[in-house]
């Protein structure tokens, strides 16, 4: 055996673990269980992602402005908040993408692999059992052939002994001695036949045993090693894939963060406070000086009420633009209502 | 008024919303409520982060290998999985950092700001009410002075009338007429006094009213505008801060992902399958050819059993290294136990 082949042999289950069927069987099973444990880990992980996404979506929905607040949407701060909610919703969407990708790429991938590995493992173990049963049957046949040979040999020895005794016994007839001779010949023949059969079975057994331990069983065990390595390599790919799935959404999440910053930056407090003016200004000008009412100089025909009204209308006449609401001009300090003009 | 000043005036609540005290009051209140709504949004958000982090931590803990599985930790796939769990735990830590930063930087920041805004708003509203009460009181004084003047003027007119009538009534004594004259003089004096008082109150009122509408009230309303703008600007900073808090952990999360990839890449299936050999190899060599047992040539003094044992010991003699477990060599195919040497 050259060095390279020896080094391969040192790494080969078929060569090194030829008598470890049960350990190989349990090791490969534990290996597939470990792969499936990683799968269930990812399933639990993606359930957490899904729940996280659901809660983010619900959060964004709960804070969506109500219909009755819609008039406030003209403010840049409200628009910004709505954009923030949109980004949080997008963020939730990205966590859902992670969950879905983990499901499709990792969980389903592992399920396909582990099913294939379980089937291949079962085939190998069945094959190993069948090989061993064949060898056991052959060893049984050898055992029977050997026992037959031992029995026949002992009987032939006995027959030789009996013939020797009869030959020396002068009281026995020639026919009688001839009978012992015939028996002896027959038993020796039988012993030789049994010995031949034993030799045949031994050759068959050794051939089979050599084939079993040098080719058949190592082939099966190497296939089990191969599937175990495929399983280990699979875990490597699935672990890397898991990180890739999550890393893939990082740039989009970064864009969501940029979106939130942009939403924040779009807030303009000067604009918003001007919008308050646009919404509420009445267009009235503040009261001007109250005129002096010199009773000694007034025309007694002009009643006071009409003067008050005309002065009031003058104020109204300064309204320069449409007014949404027109509260009583002087009733804006709680219940301290004053009617300045009326009392003049 | 020059153009610049006019443009400032156009943007000023004090100038434009002088008669909108109640709307300003409700608008600034709604503004602070909106700020606090953003705060409660962030509180809900960080609660989701905390829960997400807790679940990730619990996940990593649940999948931590049990004591009894520790012997499997020598496999690179198991070591990799442990490193994945470590990274998931770090990931959870980063979500906790997000939650804590949101709490300390955003929630507490908003709470400090909104408390300050609420206090300043209350001060402004109280000041506005107090200003209006002063003006109302002055208007009341003017009203009373004017009524006094009207009453005194009517009484003086009546006294002039009465004196005129008495002067023309030739039946009245001179003393009687003198009395009417004195009354008239007194009433005219009273009317003049009331007129002066009315004029004084009118001047005071107009001065106060001018001061109220041109300086005092605008100052208060501008302060309310200022706090509303501060509130809006605060929302901008807090929204940007929220994104910064989350963006800050992105590089660390990216490093967690790199850690997971590295963990995956460290998996070596060839090494792992060699570790299975190291763990399980018995050191025995496979059975060699079974020797032919020719009964006719054997020494009848050597019993068969001793030959079997010596052959068995020869096999054992090939053990080259320590063996962890030594299963019965030929009992590895389930219950199909065969004792090859014993039956030879």
Cβ <8 Å between A289 and B206: yes
pLDDT along chain B (344 residues), means of 10: 78 92 95 96 97 97 82 86 96 97 97 98 97 96 96 94 92 91 94 95 96 94 96 97 96 96 96 94 92 80 40 34 38 37 31
Whole-Å CA distances, B231 to A231, A278, A344, B33, B343: 59, 19, 42, 10, 98
Closest Cα partner for A267 from A82, A88, A80, A84?
A: A80
- Topology classification of domain B9-151+207-274: Substrate Binding Domain Of Dnak; Chain:A; Domain 2 (1.20.1270)
Residues 19 through 58 of chain B touching chain A, CB cutoff 8 Å: 19-24, 27, 30, 34, 37-38, 41, 44-45, 48, 51-52, 55-56
Nearest-CB residue to B250 (from A38, A210, A250): A250
Q: Is B292 on the interface with A (CB under 8 A)?
A: yes
Q: Is the pLDDT of residue A4 over 90?
A: no
Cβ <8 Å between A48 and B55: yes
Closest Cα partner for B74 from B325, B285, B268, B323?
A: B268
How many CB atoms neighbour CB A342 within 10 A?
13
Sign, CA torsion B273/B274/B277/B278:
negative
CA–CA separation, B183 and A131 (whole Å)? 148
Start and end residues for every CATH 1.20.1270.60 domain found in chain A: 8-147+214-274
- Topology classification of domain A8-147+214-274: Substrate Binding Domain Of Dnak; Chain:A; Domain 2 (1.20.1270)
Query: Percent of chain A beyond pLDDT 70?
Result: 85
Q: For B46, which residue in chain A has the nearest alpha carbon?
A: A56
Start and end residues for every CATH 1.20.1270.60 domain found in chain B: 9-151+207-274
Q: Is A196 on the interface with B (CB under 8 A)?
A: no
Closest Cα in chain A, distance from residue B173 (Å): 30
Q: Is A334 on the interface with B (CB under 8 A)?
A: yes
- What residues contact B78, with CB distance under 8 A and at least 6 apart? A34, B65, B69, B72
Q: Is A290 on the interface with B (CB under 8 A)?
A: yes
Interface test with A, best of B1, B10, B12, B19 (most A CBs within 10 A): B19
Q: Are A243 and B257 in contact (CB under 8 A)?
A: yes
Closest Cα partner for B155 from B196, B190, B180, B198?
A: B190
Q: Are A60 and A85 in contact (CB under 8 A)?
A: yes
Cβ <8 Å between A250 and B254: yes
Question: What stretch of H or E contains A42?
Answer: helix A21-62
Angle at A144 between CA A142 and CA A146, to 5 degrees: 65
| Mean confidence (pLDDT) of chain A | 86
Q: Is the pLDDT of residue A209 over 70?
A: yes
Largest CA distance in chain B: 194
Whole-Å CA distances, B306 to A140, B285, B300, B301, B341: 22, 22, 12, 11, 11
Cβ <8 Å between A247 and B229: no
Would you state the pLDDT for residue A7? 80
Q: Is the pLDDT of residue A309 over 50?
A: no
Closest Cα in chain B, distance from residue A171 (Å): 31
Answer yes or no: is the ipTM higher than 0.85.
Answer: no
Q: Is A264 on the interface with B (CB under 8 A)?
A: yes
Whole-Å CA distances, B207 to A284, B86, B216: 20, 77, 12
Interface test with B, best of A276, A288, A289 (most B CBs within 10 A): A276
């Amino acid at each position: 055996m050259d060095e390279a082949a020896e080094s391969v042999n040192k790494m080969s289950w078929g060569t090194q673990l030829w008598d470890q069927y049960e350990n190989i069987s349990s090791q490969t099973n534990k290996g597939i269980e470990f792969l499936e444990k990683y799968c269930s880990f990812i399933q639990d992980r993606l359930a957490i992602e899904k729940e996280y996404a659901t809660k983010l979506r619900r959060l964004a929905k709960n804070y969506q402005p109500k219909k009755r607040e819609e008039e406030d949407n003209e403010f840049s701060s409200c628009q910004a908040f709505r954009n923030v909610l949109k980004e949080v919703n997008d963020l939730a969407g990205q966590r859902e993408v992670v969950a879905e990708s983990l499901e499709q790429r990792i969980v389903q991938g592992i399920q396909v692999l582990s099913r294939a590995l379980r089937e291949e493992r079962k085939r190998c173990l069945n094959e190993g059992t069948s090989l061993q049963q064949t060898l056991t049957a052959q060893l049984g046949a050898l055992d029977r052939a050997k026992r037959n040979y031992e029995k026949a040999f002992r009987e032939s020895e006995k027959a030789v002994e009996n013939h020797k005794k009869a030959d020396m016994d002068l009281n026995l007839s020639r026919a009688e001695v001839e009978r012992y001779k015939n028996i002896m010949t027959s038993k020796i023949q039988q012993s030789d036949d049994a010995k031949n059969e034993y030799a045949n079975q031994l050759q068959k057994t050794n051939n089979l045993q050599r084939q079993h331990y040098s080719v058949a069983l190592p082939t099966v065990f190497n296939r089990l090693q191969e599937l175990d390595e495929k399983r280990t390599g699979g875990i490597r790919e699935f672990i890397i894939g898991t990180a890739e799935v999550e890393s893939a959404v990082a740039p989009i999440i970064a864009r969501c963060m940029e979106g939130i910053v942009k939403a924040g930056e779009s807030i303009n407090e000067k604009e918003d406070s001007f919008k308050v003016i646009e919404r509420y200004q009445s267009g009235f000008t503040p009261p001007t000086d109250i005129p002096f009412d010199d009773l000694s100089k007034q025309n007694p025909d002009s009643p006071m009420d009409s003067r008050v009204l005309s002065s009031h209308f003058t104020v109204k006449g300064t309204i320069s633009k449409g007014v949404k609401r027109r509260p009583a001009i002087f009733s804006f300090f709680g219940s301290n209502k004053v009617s300045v003009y009326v009392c003049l």
